[in-house]
Amino acid sequence: MPVEAVHLSGLLDSVAESSLWVRRATSGPFHRAARLGALFVDLPYFDRFSQAVVRYALRTAQTPSVWGDVFHQRTPIALGIALAEAGHQLALQSATEADGQTLMALSLGYISHAAMDTSMHPHINRLARTRAARTGLSPSVEHQEIEKFHSLLFHEQRFGTDLMGTQKMRAYIGLDAHLLGEPGPLSDAVQRAIVSLHGKSPSRQDFQRYASGYASYARLIGNAIVGPRIGPKVAREAARAEVYAAFDFPARFAHAVALSRRYLDALGAYLADGVFDDSARRALSAILPEGSIDPEPCS
């Protein structure tokens, strides 16, 4: 399974132990929005996906993504909070209540992703540099490979079978990201939140390209011919000792889930209270400190 499955599994596990408010806010019709939020910061990497496929096949570093880097490096926590507050404001009006609840669910998924990356990325980046020094590949390629093997090995254990190249695989990672590119109060609020922090935002057309790229990616991973070739059994077993066992991925995943749960409960309590004054923001920032969610990035 690809790395996206790690974020979606992390969201599932952390929500399951979170507060009642968080569980309700991410359940039913809002579960899909929470899943979208859990992959929000990675969506720009799926722009022009066909080019990314070629670069992956050639084992060369991917072209840098401006918005992918912005979302990971520049006030990522503030953006999650801004999305949450924007959703709360929309939910106060009957005409946009559903949009607001959807956006709040998205923000909760977003903050789960931020927690998972904050916890896991420093360890992954250190291992990627160690492997790159030995293999001659770029650290960014090694980072991608490490995350791939983490997901493949972890989810094979989690589900008791290899889902690569199956419809179940495609369904597990599938989501409708086109919501962010559709005209309406929700996409307007998302763009305003991004502009408030960065002065500009991906356009609706940009978000539509990201969504189309991700849909192509899910189809490719779920393809019965292509999917199994991305992480063949012999390759994952060769990587297991260093990438999975010595890394102690299950324990690190559990630690990341615990941090995700803490972030979710804090943001959920902030939204449930609905008083976004300086005191409330200071209390929230004590639990959700601002900073890169990809410390010492490989690219």
The tens digit of pLDDT for each residue in 215-249 reads 998 888 888 887 778 878 899 899 999 999 999 99
Q: What are the structure tokens assigned to 92, written together? A: 């106060």
Provide the pLDDT for residue 3.
Answer: 81
Provide the pLDDT for residue 90.
Answer: 98
pLDDT higher than threshold 70 for residue 58: no
pLDDT bracket for residue 70 (50, 70, 90): very high
pTM: 0.95
The residue with greater pLDDT, 73 or 167, is: 73
| Identity of residue 150 | H
CB 267 within 8 A of CB 107: yes
The rounded percent of the chain whose pLDDT value lies above 70 is 94
Q: How far apart are CA 66 and CA 231, in angstroms?
A: 28
Half-sphere exposure of 56 (CA within 13 A, CB side): 16
Q: How far apart are CA 104 and CA 231, in angstroms?
A: 35
Provide the pLDDT for residue 233.
Answer: 87
Provide the pLDDT for residue 1.
Answer: 45
The residue with greater pLDDT, 229 or 53, is: 229
∠ CA 166-168-173 to the nearest 5 degrees? 105
């960014």: which residue's tokens? 140
């615990």: which residue's tokens? 258
Provide the pLDDT for residue 281.
Answer: 96
Provide the pLDDT for residue 65.
Answer: 87
Q: What is the rounded average pLDDT for all residues in the chain?
A: 92
pLDDT bracket for residue 169 (50, 70, 90): confident
The tens digit of pLDDT for each residue in 79-135 reads 999 999 999 999 999 999 999 999 999 999 999 999 999 999 999 999 999 999 999
Provide the pLDDT for residue 228.
Answer: 79
Q: How far apart are CA 32 and CA 9, in angstroms?
A: 13
